Every structure is written in C-alpha cells, then in structure tokens.
Amino acid sequence: MTIIQALILSLVEGLTEFLPISSTGHLILVQKFLSINPTEFSKTFDIVIQLSAIMAVVWLYRKILFTKIKIWEQAFIAFIPTGVIGFFLYKIIRNVLFENPFITVYSLFFGGLFLLLIDNWKKINKGQGRLENLSLKRLLTIGLVQSISVIPGVSRSAAAIIGGLSTGLSRSQAVEFSFFLAIPTMLVATGFDLLNSGLFFSPQEYFILLIGCLFSFLSSLLAVKFFIEFVKKHNFSSFAVYRIILALIVWITLKI
C-alpha cells in the first residue's frame, strides 16, 4: 500500500464512518478499484483508521463523555450482542465476508431499500424517546440490530440508528447514540484485530498507519458535524438512494 492509497482510504473512511452508507463497504470497494490486494496489513489498516475516526466523536463529545458515566454504561451494554457475534464469527467475517466484494454490493443495495422503507414508516419516525430513559432491553435491542453490520456493506451507523428508532428514540437521539455506540465497538474490534495480527509490520507500514489515522480523524470531524446538522432538517432517503445507485454501478463494473 502506497502513501497516496492510504490517504485516499483514510479520507473515504473518515467521511463515511458515521453516515448510513457503510464505511467498511466503501473501503472494500475502493481497495478493489485501487488494485490493493487483501493482506494482513491492509485488513488491519482498515480497522485502525476506523478507530481513529471514532476518536473524532470522543473529541467532539468530550464534555458529555467525561461527565456522564451513564453514556459509557449504555454504550457497553448495547455493544454486547455485536461483541459476542464478532468474537465467534471473527474468522468468517475477516476471511470470507471481507474477501467477496459482491457481498458488499448486495448489502449496500438491499440496505438502501430497507433505509427507504424505514424513512417511509411513519410509526418508527415518531419517536420522542431520550437516551437517559433507555431500558436494558432496549439497549440490547439496539445492539442486536447493530450486530447485523458485521456483514460488510450493511453499515454499522445505519444499523445502530435503525435500532435506536425501533426502540422509540427520536431521530437526533438515535444518531447521537450511534456515535457513542461506535466507541466500544471499534475499541474492542481494533484491539482484538491487533492482537491477532501480531503487529508484525515494517517501519514503512507503521508510518502509513500513522498517516491514515491522522487524515481519518480530521475528515471524521467534518462528517460528524455535517451529519448532526443534516438530520435536523432531512431524512435518510438521500443516503438510501446513494447506496442503491452505488451498488448498481459497482455491480455492473464488477460484472464487466
């Protein structure tokens, strides 16, 4: 992986991590079109720059995160289903699902259709619930829905938001909790991945990781601020249409 390729991937990650369009799916597809062969380093690179993107949320919400301990408790409880599934299916996720770009394409397409359905489901969009009122059952429900995102292309953000809406959270609260839930999810995923990789990388690869983390963090700051303002006035239909169009373009390209 070259430095230019790393810059492109880190910018793609940062700009897509918190939008309901699947950052992992975008990384897989971009690597495919940049002719980056899947290696232990490239897979670890994807995970590590996702963690640096999550750090953007920690920075932006630092006052809340360091004053309201309950947010951390809720996030870790909601993370449990994803953690359990990710632990037991780690090899399948890493070596099977991530290796097949068509899985990503299908997930983007059908995920887009489902997002359109959610946007037009009036009942699920009338929630006025607050984070502080989430019960244990509702937290685990959100986590269970998020766990579907172990399939590349589904979008962790979209799954967590839909999970939040299904438990009665308001749109803005569902989006914010998807940010908070990303913290334990990516902390554990990154730590587990690094332990399994053994960290046997060259100095050049460590430098590329550092560059990737920096640009992923900076671009995530912009994406989070944009998304917070966007959901105040708009629904998710534009993201759903984007997913569907992207999936069709990539599917046609891969078939040629």
Q: Which tens digit of pLDDT belongs to each residue from 159-190?
A: 999 999 988 888 888 999 999 999 998 888 77
How many Å from the N-terminal Cα to the C-terminal Cα in the chain?
25
Residue of higher predicted confidence among 193 and 54: 54
- Name the helix (H) or strand (E) containing 27: helix 23-33
User: Contact at 8 Å (CB) between 155 and 178?
Assistant: no
Report the distance separating Cα 145 and Cα 210, nearest Å.
32
Q: Is the pLDDT score of 219 beyond 90?
A: yes
> Of all residues in the chain, what percent carry a pLDDT higher than 70?
94
Q: Is the pLDDT score of 220 beyond 80?
A: yes
Q: Is the pLDDT score of 244 beyond 90?
A: yes
Phi first, then psi: what are they for 89, rounded to 5°? Answer: -110, 20
Q: Is the pLDDT score of 256 beyond 60?
A: no
* Range from 64-68, 170-174, 195-199, 242-246 that averages highest in pLDDT: 242-246
Mean pLDDT of 187-195: 77
In the numeric block, the tokens 């587990």 are attached to: 192
Please state, rounded to an integer, the average pLDDT across all residues of the chain: 87
User: Contact at 8 Å (CB) between 150 and 108?
Assistant: no
Q: Which pTM value belongs to this model?
A: 0.86
> Of all residues in the chain, what percent carry a pLDDT higher than 90?
46
- Domain ranges in the chain? 3-255
Mean pLDDT of 239-255: 90
